[in-house]
Structure 1
């Protein structure tokens, strides 16, 4: 018989979970701080035109929206046709060129989506298209509803 006996360590193999709530709380705070949940407040009314042949844009992050339609005045009244970029109404058509040029410099793959009211004046739409062309934003699409 052997005189030497093999000792076994009596340590626990369990993972400590006492810090788990702290880690979960820190992750929650991190995602709350870094996530952007932003909706544009429309100041113009948009009723989309219908189309048969439409295509869905997959990468929504690369899209910048320009809204064209009658201005909402309150009490269900509508004003004249206005252009809205982000949360701001644009009165000077020349400002569209500067705003969109800055955006295209930040993201060269930017797609400009025009969300136009079906009853908007075509002259304003043409002016916006010209300003986009001068700004170098050549990837333009129109938002529509699928025709039933």
Structure 2
């Protein structure tokens, strides 16, 4: 995540291959609420997807883990829980770091569906999504497919 990306009161990281603690350290300052959904990280207890837990709405610095990077459905469910709970409590941004790592674990079609669903959930809850991706690591048609999903693309 670059320094030119503005921060919002509510920041939710979705990390693929980036240590959750490192992400929190970079993004926690100045935010009202910060949480991370970390895929592929096995060092913590596996996240529960059971709804109705108000802890999501209150914690800052919470880390939810999903053992397999490829389990994008669980990642999406956890992100949705935060977006729903935080809706109406200030601007929320979901930072996906790093799509390139996800593409190493799933097909481009699966990753596209994940990002598309994430964008739909964000739109429904008045949040925004910022995604990092190493464009040089993928074929131009793959990069173009993902760029088409976003209004603002920075290289």
Q: Shorter-chain TM-score: what band?
A: 0.3 to 0.5
What TM-score results when the alignment is normalised by the length of structure 1? 0.40
Higher relative contact order (CA 8 A, sep 6+): 1
- When normalised by structure 2's length, the TM-score is 0.39
- Computing the radius of gyration from Cα coordinates, the structure with the larger value is 1
